[in-house]
Amino acid sequence: VHRPLEFGVATSAYQTEGAVGRDGRGESIWDTFCRRSGAIADGSDGSMACQSYDLVNEDVSLAQRLGAGWYRFSIAWPRVIPDGTGRIEQRGLDYYDRLVDHLLDAGIAPAPTLYHWDLPQILEDHGGWLSRDTASAFAEYATVVAERLTDRVPMWATLNEPWCSAYLGYAAGVHAPGRMIGKDAHRATHHLMLAHGWGAQALRAAGAGWVGIVLNPAPILAATDVPQETTDAVDALRNRVWWGPIVNGRYDDQSIAAAPVLADPDLVRDGDLHSIHGSAQWLGINYYTPMRLVRRTDHKRAAGGEEGAYPGVAGFQFAPREPQTSLGWEIHADSLRDLLVDLSHHTHLPLIVTENGAAFRDSANSSSSASAINDADRIRYLRDHLEAVHAAREVGADVRAYFAWTLLDNFEWAHGYTQKFGIVQVDAVTGARTPKASFYWLADYFRAGYEKPR
């Protein structure tokens, strides 16, 4: 017998807060990366973003109007420990303390994520995720945050989408820190897992309750002529390498075949896997699109873009089909259902859809509807994916909650402000918030607490 599905909405620090120079915040790898010529599609950065550092009360009110039971946000490490380790910036902690209280006053449960990609730059200068010391620094940071907030926070996530940190950051070079070091990026993978394991221990030692990690696994839809070993390698690097050691206490054979360094005792030291094993009490799933693989016929190695994020794996490329979002991501809600069923079966962990949503080019509404912004395709996307969550639950997947990505049109990383995922539009200058039609649609849906979609 299922408990009712719970609902929430998600955001992240660098994408929304702005105020990068305020209250003693240190520099992050995204501040630095955005200054690199050509790194961001529109040459922008997160220095203004949605101005949520100042307008956060409006965001909480919006989440309340939406009927969200949960608000997922991330804490900016450089606001709390500007130098990565050591000195604590109380003004940074105060901001999140206020946010938590404000959410609770609004009847919304806070769901913080400790790391949504904004590593203190100074840690990157000392090797970033290629260094084991970054994992120790993360555990120190986790302790500091938990000691301040854990009395009021019911669930915690350590990392957001570590696959992106490792492979978009150090192999494809399209995310900060923008390095392209090929197979050496696998080292970052282990250090991120270690940071999660040690961070989870630190959170629990400080009294934190429900601790998990947010991954972005994706089902692979491979054409028949793609060699099995290629599909296995992509599956390993995107999926199994992340939940495998948490659930089974080891990197499986597929993962080691794709990333042999994960069997090197200098990297994976005694006790490491023990720290990672069993370290998540729930698993966050960010789902947007499946990975549709076709054989690459020109025999070139994959390079750049997302294919470059699978170092050492050659002979394939991604071939998304229609319909697609404005990012060119294939829309395929059945893959979300299959993913949830599969992960529930393999991990036996409670699952939360911690992100789901879509970028579209929103159009002005000429009709007399409640919103001036008619994002009918976003509504369709959300409706079909909510239906997929229900379908997964109906066949036994233990999915507890669904959080929409995202409350506000925000800084979409390398795409800058050119891609819009929000259910609320944000004026770039004034920060004024205008709910779109999808906001009103989702509010109706959340309030009705639908066990079955309409």
d(CA 247, CA 282): 11
Query: Of 15 and 230, which CB lies nearer to ligand IFM in the complex structure?
Result: 15
Query: What are φ and ψ of residue 111, in 5° steps?
Result: -125, 85
Whole-number minimum distance, CB 325 to ligand IFM, in Å?
10
**Among residues 63, 47, 176, which one has the least CA distance to residue 115?**
176
d(CA 272, CA 250): 10
DSSP 452: S
| Strand intervals (E) in 290-345 | 291-295, 316-318
Query: Of 251 and 318, which CB lies nearer to ligand IFM in the complex structure?
Result: 318
d(CA 82, CA 156): 21
d(CA 220, CA 227): 13
CA atoms within 13 A on the CB side of 267: 20
Token reading at 1: 């017998």
Whole-number minimum distance, CB 46 to ligand IFM, in Å?
11
d(CA 193, CA 216): 14
Whole-number minimum distance, CB 452 to ligand IFM, in Å?
27
**Among residues 134, 140, 128, which one has the least CA distance to residue 33?**
128
d(CA 381, CA 331): 8
- Positions touching ligand IFM (CB under 6 A) are 12, 15, 161, 286, 355, 405, 412, 421
Active site residue 412: no
Query: Of 15 and 275, which CB lies nearer to ligand IFM in the complex structure?
Result: 15
Dihedral sign of CA atoms 119, 123, 124, 128 in order? negative
SS3 content of the chain, % helix, strand, coil (to 5): 40, 15, 40
Whole-number minimum distance, CB 270 to ligand IFM, in Å?
34
**Which residue in 89, 161, 330, 412 is the catalytic one?**
161
Which helix (DSSP H) or strand (DSSP E) does residue 436 occupy?
none
Task: Give the bridge partners for 9, in sequence order.
Answer: 71, 404
Whole-number minimum distance, CB 111 to ligand IFM, in Å?
14
Cβ-Cβ contacts under 8 Å for 226 (sequence gap 6 or more): 293, 294, 295, 315, 316
Active site residue 17: no
Query: Of 71 and 251, which CB lies nearer to ligand IFM in the complex structure?
Result: 71
d(CA 51, CA 177): 24
Interhelix angle 90-105/52-66, rounded to 10 degrees, is: 20
Whole-number minimum distance, CB 72 to ligand IFM, in Å?
11
**Which residue in 17, 330, 355, 387 is the catalytic one?**
355
Work out the number of other CB atoms within 10 angstroms of the CB of residue 433: 22
Peptide bond into 323 cis (omega under 30): yes
State the catalytic residues. 161, 355
